[in-house]
Each structure stands twice: as C-alpha cells, then as structure tokens.
Amino acid sequence: MPLARLLYLLLLIAMTAAGILAFSSCNTKQFDKIDKIFKSRFIETNLGICNVLSSYQVYPFQHPPTGQFQKHVCKQLFCQIGIKQFVTTPDIPICEINMKGENITVQRHLQSICPDLDLTTTKKARKRQLR
C-alpha cells in the first residue's frame, strides 16, 4: 500500500509540474515586482493622469481598449509615456497573464493597449518585447 501511495504522489507531482509548464502565469513574487515597477519611475503618476484623461486604467491589468476608445486612450500623451515607461523597464518579469481566455506576456499585453506606439528604445528593450 505505501508503494501505491508513493507512485500516486509522484504521478500527481509530475502532472502538476506539466500543468504549470503548459499554463504558465505570473506568480505572487512576479506580480509584486510588477507592482513595485508600476509605483516607481513616475509610471504610476503618468498612468494615473492617463486614467483621468482617458477613463482607461492600464494597471491593474484589464482588457485592452478597442475601436474609437483605443484611439482616444492612445492619443493621450500621458498614456503613451506611461505605457512606454512600463514596457521598456528592463527588469519587468517575463511571465504570462490571462486576457480574454488567452495567456499573454505582460509586455505583449501592454503593447496591445496602443499597438502603434513606438516602444523601442534600445536593442535590449526590443529583444524583451519580442518574447
């Protein structure tokens, strides 16, 4: 009986590990780091003003705007600056969040808010955005 329990436990651990790899997402530590980044470097200030001007809250993450609302959000200078600062932060964790039932990296999500915004500033930042 103990051998059966051990085998069951090993099978359960293997299935859990496979599930984590297949459906990876940001963990608490990574979300804490994202939150810390948001609250630094004037990102919170710029995106707060963006929220007031456009009625769209970039963070905490929510579905990206679409259509005319997206155009309205993306024409706001503070939205452009805040999103660019957030995306190009070199130490932002590379992990996935679930948006519209799809796992997407934090960087890709931020890019999807204003897809026409030029976010490239350095080679290193560009490489991170392509992941």
**Residue 115: inside a domain:** yes
- Over residues 54-82, mean pLDDT: 96
**Residue (of 104, 108, 98) closest to 129 by Cα position:** 108
Distance (Å, whole) CA 11 – CA 110: 38
**Residue 16: inside a domain:** no
**Residue 19: inside a domain:** no
9-13, 15-19, 104-108: the lowest-pLDDT one: 15-19
**Residue 112: inside a domain:** yes
pLDDT for position 126: 52
Q: What is the pTM assigned to this prediction? A: 0.71
**Residue 4: inside a domain:** no
The CATH code of the domain that includes 91 is 1.10.239.10
**Residue 7: inside a domain:** no
Confidence of residue 32 (pLDDT cuts 50, 70, 90): very high
Q: What is the domain count for the chain?
A: 1
Crossing angle between the packed helical segments 106-113 and 67-74, to the nearest 10 degrees: 100
**Residue 81: inside a domain:** yes
Q: Would the pLDDT of 9 be above 50?
A: no
Question: Strand 96-99 and strand 102-105: pairing?
Answer: antiparallel
Confidence of residue 41 (pLDDT cuts 50, 70, 90): confident
Alpha-helical (H) ranges within the chain are 2-22, 28-38, 43-54, 67-74, 77-87, 106-113, 123-130
**Residue 8: inside a domain:** no
Task: Give the range of the structural domain holding residue 76, as residue numbers without chain letter.
Answer: 25-130
